[in-house]
């Protein structure tokens, strides 16, 4: 029994899970798969024939794909498995991998192109979720240490380039262990979540609030104009933590260490260490906050004379 090409083409266009389409030299659709027509809201694929991507997807995206299609047909070069994104009418992002290849007649002339588009929305959503989990604290949804370090590196680059300063506030809670010991860890978790809300509500969008340990938090204050501003903000956070997070109890206070770039360090590690050290000093002296000590100047190396 002979297997005809038309049967194969029909089976593909009717049953494949990918969008398959054929366009002529004017970038008008000549054939589309059932999957593609259903996704576009057409029960009959023939209703799409003759339309362009501008009519189906809008001016901006349509002109972009037409330019891409014309380039493929003019050069004769295929494009394989490249990433495309399209924003649907509902505002969702549609992620796809697309392959486009020129379509030739028996004489080898390019008369159009064939495209195959494979949706990867679930893969992209899983990737985005994984990236989020890798950079955020699962309990509070704040930045974790990894993301904080990345943001500090960015802040250092900007500060050096633009001759600016920024601050790190290292926050450690006093009395938090009592919550876990008396009312349980679930209540302690709720307290930390509430604290995260209070902290994020009192910073600018350009700042970063991170949880780097059990009851340890760090706030990156970007582009401050003077050191005193960081101390004022530290005092404000000390008050917020005592009176806003758990206003009925007021049993939790904070020790806050403040480090300024470049006064207390020129690397992320140096700044965190300086802020951490200042926090412990504040805790030992029962202070609300403490400014870090200036790093000692680098003494020049003494070179011994080489005996002659």
**To the nearest 5 percent, what fractions of the chain are helix, strand and coil?**
45, 25, 30
Does the pLDDT of residue 303 top 50, yes or no?
no
Give the model's pLDDT for residue 177.
83
What integer is the mean pLDDT of 196-222? Answer: 94
pLDDT, tens digit, for every residue of 37-66? 998 999 999 999 999 999 998 998 899 999
Does the pLDDT of residue 308 top 60, yes or no?
no
pTM for this one? 0.70
Percent of the chain scoring above 70 in pLDDT: 94
Is 61 within 8 Å of 53 (Cβ atoms)? yes
Which of 17-21, 250-254, 303-307 is the least confident region?
303-307
Which residues are known to be catalytic? 215
Does the pLDDT of residue 174 top 80, yes or no?
yes
Q: Six-digit token pair at 158?
A: 């900007």
Does the pLDDT of residue 302 top 60, yes or no?
no
Q: Which of 103, 108, 61 is nearest to 84 (CA)?
A: 61
Radius of gyration of the chain (CA): 30
Q: Strand 289-291 vs strand 253-261: parallel, antiparallel, or unpaired?
A: parallel
DSSP letter at 4 equals P
Domain boundaries of the chain, sorted by first residue? 5-125, 136-291
> Per-residue confidence at 264, pLDDT binned at 50, 70, 90?
very high
Whole-angstrom distance, CA of residue 211 vs CA of residue 213: 6
More confident residue, 85 or 261: 261
Whole-angstrom distance, CA of residue 190 vs CA of residue 112: 61
Give the model's pLDDT for residue 139.
95
> Per-residue confidence at 87, pLDDT binned at 50, 70, 90?
confident
In the block, residue with structure tokens 């549609």:
94
Q: Six-digit token pair at 53?
A: 């991507």
pLDDT, tens digit, for every residue of 99-124? 999 999 999 999 999 999 999 999 99
What integer is the mean pLDDT of 154-176? Answer: 95
Give the model's pLDDT for residue 247.
63
Whole-angstrom distance, CA of residue 257 vs CA of residue 168: 8
Does the pLDDT of residue 1 top 90, yes or no?
no
Is 153 within 8 Å of 268 (Cβ atoms)? yes
More confident residue, 294 or 25: 25
Q: Six-digit token pair at 289?
A: 């906050």
CATH annotation of 5-125:
3.30.450.20
| Alpha-carbon 291 to chain mean position | 32
Percent of the chain scoring above 90 in pLDDT: 72
Say how many residues make up the chain. Answer: 308
Whole-angstrom distance, CA of residue 153 vs CA of residue 162: 14
Whole-angstrom distance, CA of residue 270 vs CA of residue 294: 11
Mean of per-residue pLDDT scores for the chain: 90
- Return phi, psi of residue 289, to 5°: -155, 160
Within 10 angstroms of residue 110's Cβ, the number of other Cβ atoms is 15
Q: Six-digit token pair at 68?
A: 């891409």
CATH annotation of 136-291:
3.30.70.270
Q: Six-digit token pair at 54?
A: 């501008």
- Return phi, psi of residue 99, to 5°: -120, 130
Angle at 35 between CA 86 and CA 31, to 5 degrees: 90
């Amino acid at each position: 029994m002979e297997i005809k090409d038309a049967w194969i083409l029909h089976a593909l266009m009717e049953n494949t899970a990918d969008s398959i389409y054929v366009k002529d030299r004017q970038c008008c659709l000549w054939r589309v798969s059932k999957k593609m027509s259903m996704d576009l809201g057409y029960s009959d694929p023939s209703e799409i024939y003759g339309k362009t991507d501008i009519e189906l997807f809008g001016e901006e995206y349509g002109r972009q794909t037409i330019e891409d299609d014309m380039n493929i047909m003019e050069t004769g070069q295929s494009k394989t498995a490249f990433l495309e994104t399209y924003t649907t009418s509902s505002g969702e992002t549609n992620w796809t991998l697309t392959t486009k290849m020129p379509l030739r007649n028996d004489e080898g002339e390019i008369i159009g192109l064939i495209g195959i588009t494979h949706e990867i929305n679930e893969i992209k959503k899983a990737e985005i979720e994984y990236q989020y989990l890798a950079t955020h604290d699962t309990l509070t949804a704040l930045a974790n240490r990894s993301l904080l370090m990345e943001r500090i590196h960015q802040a250092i680059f900007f500060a050096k380039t633009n001759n600016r300063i920024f601050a790190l506030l290292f926050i450690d809670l006093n009395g938090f262990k009592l919550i876990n010991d008396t009312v349980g860890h679930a209540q302690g978790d709720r307290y930390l979540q509430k604290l995260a809300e209070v902290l994020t509500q009192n910073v600018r969008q350009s700042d970063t609030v991170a949880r780097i340990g059990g009851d340890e938090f760090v706030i990156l204050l970007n582009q401050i104009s003077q050191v005193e501003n960081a101390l004022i903000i530290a005092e404000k956070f000390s008050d917020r933590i005592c009176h806003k997070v758990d206003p009925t109890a007021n049993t939790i206070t904070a020790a806050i260490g403040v480090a300024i770039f470049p006064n207390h360090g020129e690397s992320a590690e140096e700044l965190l260490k300086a802020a951490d050290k200042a926090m412990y000093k504040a805790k030992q002296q029962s202070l609300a906050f403490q400014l870090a000590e200036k790093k000692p100047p680098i003494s020049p190396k003494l070179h011994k004379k080489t005996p002659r």
